[in-house]
Amino acid sequence: MSRRAVLVAIAAMIVAPSLARAEIIDRIMAVVNGQPLTLSDVNAASMLQLLTPETNRPDRTSAVLDRLIERTLIIGEVDRYQPPEPAPEEIDRRYNVVVQRVNGESNLQKIFTDTGMTADQLRRWVRDDLRMETYFNQRFGTTDPSRGKMIVDWVSGLRRRADVTVLYVAPS
């Protein structure tokens, strides 16, 4: 009987570590006004080249995450003011630009598989980009030479007033 108990204990010690290792499905990188931003979000934005991160930053993940945080804050404001919906044709055109940018539909599908993003989510992203452009044009005009600075200052103000928790720590 004691020999059997010893064998069971040894088997449990061998099997337990493999059972204890959990597979990480995704990782929360930041929370913006209660909305989580995940590593999959960062990867999708990066792989699809949906954002232009600061190029002078050594950690690309951190740079893309900062842009996602800003985008989330901007979309929150855009949703409050409800600019007109973009034309479906314009959404299709911009979607196709992304397809071309990633060298075709097969590469796009691979990115969807790798990141968990879907075609519908990408279309919503494109739609939101167009809504943001409309909002910026309404709020900041289209010809003011200081428009870029005004937008940067406005986004900085949004970030100061928002509840943003960044959980990602860049590697040293």
Query: What confidence tens digit (pLDDT) does each residue in 122-164 have?
Result: 999 999 999 999 999 999 999 999 999 999 999 999 999 999 9
Backbone angles phi, psi at 164, to 5 degrees: -120, 125
Tell whether 61 is covered by a domain: yes
Domain contains 157: yes
Structural domain count, the chain: 1
**One-letter amino acid for residue 161 of the chain:** R
Residue 12 lies in a domain: no
Confidence of residue 15 (pLDDT cuts 50, 70, 90): low
7 pLDDT more than 90: no
Tell me, yes or no, whether 14 lies in a domain. no
155, 70 Cβ separation under 8 angstroms: yes
Which pair of structure tokens corresponds to residue 117?
A: 């993003």
Q: Does residue 6 lie within any of the structural domains?
A: no
Q: Is 96 a domain residue? A: yes
13 has pLDDT over 60: no
- Its domain, for residue 87, covers 27-166
Sequence-separated (6 or more) residues with CB below 8 Å from residue 151: 136, 140
Question: Does a structural domain hold residue 151?
Answer: yes
Look at residue 73 and tell me if it is in a domain.
yes
On the CB side of 49, how many CA atoms lie within 13 Å of its CA?
11
CATH of the domain at 151: 1.10.4030.10
